[in-house]
Amino acid sequence: MRRLLVVLLVALAAGCAPEGDGSTLTVFAAASLQQVFTDIGEQFERDHPGVAVEFSFAGSSDLVTQLTQGARADVFASADTRNMDRAAEAGLLAGAPVNFATNTLTIAVGPGNPKNITSFRDLARPGLAVVTCAPQVPCGAATDRLEDAAGVRLEPVSEESSVTDVLNKVIGGQADAGVVYVTDARAAGDRGAEVPVPEAAGIVNTYPIAALKDSPELAQQFVAAVTGEVGRKVLEAAGFGPP
């Protein structure tokens, strides 16, 4: 009888535990969101004791492919609306996505700009090692549009699956220049330098976020954190524009 009573008390205690206690929230997010989402996730964990936020950062197109192939996640944040639309068409979303940020492209170069790059057109100079994102990745699709706007056709030495891979090749000395988001160039700090691209002002990537099907209520709360005051402050400080 005493053993039965102990079992019942344990079960009751579990049923009365605060929502989210011991829970893990899995967030799939575009690579360009890595630093800001890590910061937002840490604040979310402080505001929700017992909750752990785990992230998977990659190119948005790769993340959608993983989700459609059965990968488990609670929240998806894309660097463009096209890949969020893919997720919606696949029936992955729990509700309508919410736009929460915007971003534009720029040129990342090594410290001191050793190749003296001053414009987007300079990236077409012979002998210059330029890296870009692959066309299926949001930053790659935006680069294609930027080439059209600037009247320049690039011949990159490599096309990367995420914008962070492009940046890492530049700051690691494997490339002379790379086309990245403004926020990535800013995050590089003194490890690199930025060459602004006026033509990029009209080519804006909009970032949407959504809770995924069969996710817990915590997923909606995380979306609210990203789109609310906490998220706006972190995103603005990192250089993201308003949606």
Residue 207, annotated ligand binder?
A: no
Residue 181, annotated ligand binder?
A: yes
Q: Which helix (H) or strand (E) holds 57?
A: strand 52-58
Distance CA 119, CA 205 (A): 21
Residue 32, annotated ligand binder?
A: yes
162 to 79, 87, 88, 171: CA distances (angstroms): 11, 18, 22, 15
Distance CA 153, CA 161 (A): 20
128-161 b/e (C-beta count within 10 Å ≥ 16 → b): bbbbbbbebbbbbbbbeebbebbeeebebeebbb
Annotated binding residues, as ranges? 32, 60, 163, 181
Annotated binding residues for molybdate, as ranges? 32, 60, 163, 181
